[in-house]
Amino acid sequence: MKGNELKFTIQRDRPQGGSMTYQLTGKVDGDSMKGSASSEMGNAEWTAKRK
């Protein structure tokens, strides 16, 4: 994390074997954050909010 920007990588094992790597980036804004995720399967937007 640098300032309000975050970047991290997740690697997960697949049930059928092998693994998949996800690269996530985002920005924190108060009690919420949003960003994008990418993998070999494509890209997606994500959001999170503190309860």
Q: At residue 6, what is the residue type?
A: L
pLDDT of 44 reads 97
CB atoms within 10 A of CB 30: 8
* pLDDT band, very low/low/confident/very high, at 47 (cuts 50, 70, 90): very high
2-39 per-position pLDDT tens digit: 999 999 999 999 999 999 999 999 999 999 999 999 99
pLDDT of 13 reads 95
Model pTM? 0.77
